[in-house]
Chain A
Amino acid sequence: MADAPPHQLDPAFVSQPTVVASAVSIWFGPKVAVTELSCSFGAGVTGLLGPNGAGKTTLMRAICGLLPTNQGQVQVLGRDPRRDRSVQQAIALVPEDDAVPGALSARQLVRYTASLHSVRDRSAPDQCLATVGLLEVADRRVSGFSKGMRQRVKVAAALVTGPQVLVLDEPLNGADPVQRVTLIELFQALGRQGRTVIVSSHVLHEVERLAERQIVIIRGRLAAAGEHRAIRDSLLDRPRAVLVRTSDPRRLAADLIAVEAVAGVTIDGSGLVVSTPRAGEFAQALPSVARKAGARLREVRPLDDSLESVFRELLR
């Protein structure tokens, strides 16, 4: 294990890390993918959350040694994955892209990975294929698989090496609901075994189900880290714009201005656009204010509830 960093109270770090990123910066020409990012991962499942293009995949690739860092360093089990090939024995990556040779069958692919890692048990590939529910189609070529099946083949190929550190880049992409549940349970079981499981996703609720601890990356920077409840609470309290359609917009607007959780109100035809720094408090107050004003509520919906806006707010 690498030495514990001197950030014991920082939620971006864990006390017994297996993977440590220290002030990592990675850029591709003029495009900066990761900026001064420091965090660590330990046993259990950690979610890596962020919108598309946030730098999650770049960080994961750096953890696996596929990409060198331009500044800072990544250490896995105390070693540099870029320079020390032996550490690859302990790492497995499930990439997001379709980086699987389609000419091979699922069994051949998993056996190949097992052989590269000098796995001694000949039955291990079939066991892993059974774990991800692909044993029955193990002799079919990967090129004929659906996206979800290819994803599961990659998971099987990663599992067969018995990795201490498992890096999963959007592993649930293309999986149907039943497969999702199975895979989530599998990853959680691996985490409980003491393995370091790093799972990336841009879907907030997906990561919430997967991992208790989360690290949020936005525009290559660390935006938040810690238990998912704490992050979720901070998201709920972010300023929001809410559209309220009502029978009497002028009257309701006048009354809403007096509400403490309301920062501003704009009348837009039959609707109001309410700006609130505390959405939860506003949602509780709105029905009673409308009742007192004698205004009937026809529609209430947030205008900027996309994940992108949530992430943007975190970065602010």
Chain B
Amino acid sequence: MTDLATTGRSLPSPFAAVLAYTLRACLPAKRWFGVLLPCVGALLFGWLTVALDGPSQQQDFADIAELGLFALILPLTCLVIGDAVLGADVRAGTFQLTWLSPVPFRTIVLGRWLGGWLVALVTLVPALAIAALFGGVSDAAGSMALAGLFGSGAYLALFMMLGVVTRRSALWSLAVVLVGEWLLGANLSGVAQFSPRWEAQQVFAGLWDYGALLEREGMPLGWSAVVRLVVVGAVCLLVATWRLGHMRPVGVAD
């Protein structure tokens, strides 16, 4: 009992505990497999650039980046991580362990998001940069890493929000990617303005020397797109924080 002893070295702070829990409990071995698989896919996409017979290597990589890395690898990897750090925990009923504490919801959301972002930082971001190297466009590696870094941050916030707003969060997340971004975002600039996929692509386009190949009219470029991603991410995290205070964290079985 805590009454018996009140001395000694302190335990981690609530924020550090939430962060450690995210890395330890939310991402078991199976989830890591789900994270690493698309990262391997990113490397293969990079290799594919060499095999393409386009007008230039830059053009080939731009095509691969648009259709493979930004449309597929980035959202799918973030979906696996984003669902793991909150939605899956809520569905399993294990989130009540965290919910039943005096820790403010914003601390919980921020800790979970940061944990997920760290995972993306050591898996997805390097994979995207290496894909550029494999594709023979080493000058694109830095911008690709930055696009992955900020794009994954916004995506994770989006998927975390869906994890607490919807019951079948993985399904809804997939629907947002397929219908919202692939279908509507590709055709409607207004929708793309809020899409992590399109904004991340614009970050890359704005920072890469050959980015004009990927530029999309009417959308911010480079660091302006980074600001947009930060805004999208922040809004999603705020909604997730608000939602935690109104949810019933008792699991689907109940």
Contacts and interface: CB of A to CB of B under 8 A. Distances in A.
A250 to B, nearest CB: 54
Interface stretch (A108-116, A271-279, A307-315): A108-116
A104 B4 contact: no
B93 to A, nearest CB: 4
A104 B22 CA distance: 11
Interface stretch (B33-41, B100-108, B155-163, B188-196): B100-108
Contacts of B105: 85
A91 to B, nearest CB: 7
A208 B200 CA distance: 63
A128 interface: yes
Interface string A69-87: 0000000000000000111
B10 interface: yes
Interface in A100-127: 100-104, 108-109, 111-125, 127
B122 interface: no
Interface in B1-54: 1-14, 16-18, 20-21, 24-26, 28
Given A66-B250, A88-B100, A116-B103, A121 B12 contact: no
A19 interface: no
Contacts of A87: 102
A122 B8 contact: yes
A116 to B, nearest CB: 4
B96 A66 contact: yes
Interface in B213-254: 248-251, 253-254
A289 to B, nearest CB: 52
B1 A128 contact: yes
A93 interface: yes
Contact of A104 (B25, B100, B104, B250): B25
A97 interface: yes
A112 B6 contact: no
A160 interface: yes
Contact of B24 (A108, A116, A127, A157): A108
B99 A66 contact: yes
26 contacts: A66-B250, A67-B250, A86-B102, A87-B102, A88-B100, A89-B102, A92-B100, A95-B93, A99-B93, A101-B26, A101-B89, A101-B92, A104-B25, A108-B24, A111-B17, A112-B17, A112-B97, A114-B11, A115-B11, A116-B102, A118-B13, A118-B14, A119-B2, A124-B4, A127-B4, A162-B3
Interface of A: 61, 64-68, 85-89, 91-93, 95, 97, 99-104, 108-109, 111-125, 127-128, 131, 157, 159-162
| 6 cross-chain pairs, A with B, having the tightest CB-CB distances, nearest first | A115-B17, A116-B101, A162-B2, A101-B25, A99-B93, A89-B102
